[in-house]
Structure 1
Amino acid sequence: MSKSRNRLEQALAEAADIEESPDRVVRTDVVTTRGGRRTRTLQVRFNEDGLADLEALARARDLPVSTVARDILLTQISQIQAAPNSPLAAIDEAIEALTHLREMAVVRPSR
């Protein structure tokens, strides 16, 4: 029997086993969520430096990059919604954003 045919039969057997026991844990290193509150995806493009900064913040906080990005975005949205028309609101928001970034700041080695 060929190697690829053997792998195909093994995959089919695994698929049948999964279908028979859908709640069985297949991989312990992966957390699967179904439904839940977060069901939409936003794709954002970063340049290398921006992504490196975000990854460094995530490492410093011991959180996934997506969690840190979501936190920053939602913080900014709530601040904008709190006082969108005040002339001083933009200054206050900038100060708060800078303070937030300073608290999470990680020193990157210079290039």
Structure 2
Amino acid sequence: MQTGKISGKLFDFDADAELNNQKLILTAIEAGLLKSAHDLSEGGLIVALLESAFETSFAFDANLKLDDAQLFAETNGRFIVTVEPEKEPVFEKMAGDQAELIGRVTDRNHFQIKT
């Protein structure tokens, strides 16, 4: 809104995909599979990754095969979650193609993002 005008193309809203993603996250939380979950809203994936690590002693290594527009896209129904390594196989089976491994949480003092 820096120009005083609202402009740009809105993404199509897929209510079924949104509901399926919300159900996946809720089911994974109820099953005790998630260590954390953060929606990808303002600022998209990059901002969510950074916000997830703020005020913690953790960082991350991420390997993102996305262009700049995708890294900052504020499309609906997306989440970044952390799963303890021993719970990964169960979560991955539950999520199927609804989730993709993009990196690892680390205890180092810096973030690493490869694109």
- Return the TM-score normalized by structure 1: 0.25
Q: Quick check: which has more Rg, 1 or 2?
A: 1
Larger RCO: 1 or 2 (CA < 8 Å, sep 6+): 2
Higher helix share: 1
